Amino acid sequence: MRARSGFTFVEILLVVVIIGILASMVLPRFVGRSEDARRQVAMSDINTSIATALDMYELDNGIYPDKLDDLLVKPGDLKSWNGPYLKKKPVDPWGRDYIYKPSTDKKDYDLMSYGRTGLEGADTISNKQPVTGQQQPQ
């Protein structure tokens, strides 16, 4: 008799079943994590990187820009423009442009992303929302 080497069908089936059981226990923990990460990136962009660029523009020019493109390319005849204030045009983690609306007097602004849906509503992330994890003033 010759000795055979290799795995039997039952052994391979057993390994596949064990991997399936492990995957069914671990996979549900990761579902939805990518969406949470995208929301965190959008909040970070809105509350730090783009906000800093907007504040630097306002510091140099006394008003906030008309549009986010003004952070990249000098608008008109501004003499104190010291940009570009951003390296590239900001897009949200879902691949859409951030929504930017300066106030009428250009002393404040709204900056937001409509989130996963791309529609204004429950998924909207805005600079007017409280930042998670920070104490609110009382």
Residue ranges of domains in the chain: 35-126
CA distance 38 to 94: 8
More confident residue, 53 or 32: 53
CA distance 29 to 116: 20
Q: Is 60 exceeded by the pLDDT of residue 135?
A: no
Model confidence pTM above 0.75: no
CA distance 54 to 74: 13
State in Å, rounded, how far the first CA of the chain is from the last one.
85
Amino acid at 119: L
Q: Is 60 exceeded by the pLDDT of residue 136?
A: no
Least confident span in 8-17, 32-41, 42-51:
32-41
Percent of the chain with pLDDT over 90: 24
Q: Is 70 exceeded by the pLDDT of residue 104?
A: yes
Helix, strand, or coil (residue 113): strand
CATH 3.30.700.10 corresponds to the domain 35-126: yes
Contact 99, 123 (CB under 8 A): no
